[in-house]
Amino acid sequence: MVNIGIVDTITHLPLGVLKPHADELGPYGPGNHVLDTFFFSGGGFTPVNAAFGVVVQISGGIAPKLGRQFGFSDGIDVNLDVFELRICQLAALHQMLGGQWIASQVESVRYAPQLFRWVEASPGRIGLYVEPSWSVDLYYLMVN
């Protein structure tokens, strides 16, 4: 018998009940971005800690010679071409009682779309570094 705690169930909902909402403040271009809210039609400005994770998607064209290694593609939604060079870095940031921010999760994105669920629930901020030549869109995973 598998035991799953109620807190774990609430903070890590099944993917089937989560709906991606496009962050209309994007796309995010090269450089550092510190995000504590996102905006989507019908929801307005929403804190990132209301989401259960995020999907990172490439925005725009893909520059040639970025170390592309072809992978699986269903021809519609899923394309698992992997890039030798990182597309971006995503960090879930939590604030400690003393006020300092720490990274509780750091992910390197080398293919897109790529889905990330928070390891620790409710990060207060998202740190995003987008590599030169790239632009990404974010889709926050919400219940509604």
Checking if the pLDDT of 25 tops 90, the result is yes
pTM (two decimals):
0.82
Q: What is the pLDDT averaged over residues 1-29? A: 69
Say which DSSP state 137 is in. Answer: E
**Model pLDDT for residues 59-106, shown as the tens digit of each residue:** 877 766 667 888 888 888 777 888 888 999 999 999 999 999 999 999
The answer to whether the peptide bond before residue 113 is cis (omega within 30 degrees of 0) is: yes
Angle among Cα 132, 129, 76 to the nearest 5 degrees reads 75
The pLDDT, as a whole number, for residue 7 is: 47
**Separation between Cα atoms, residue 118 and residue 121, nearest integer Å:** 6
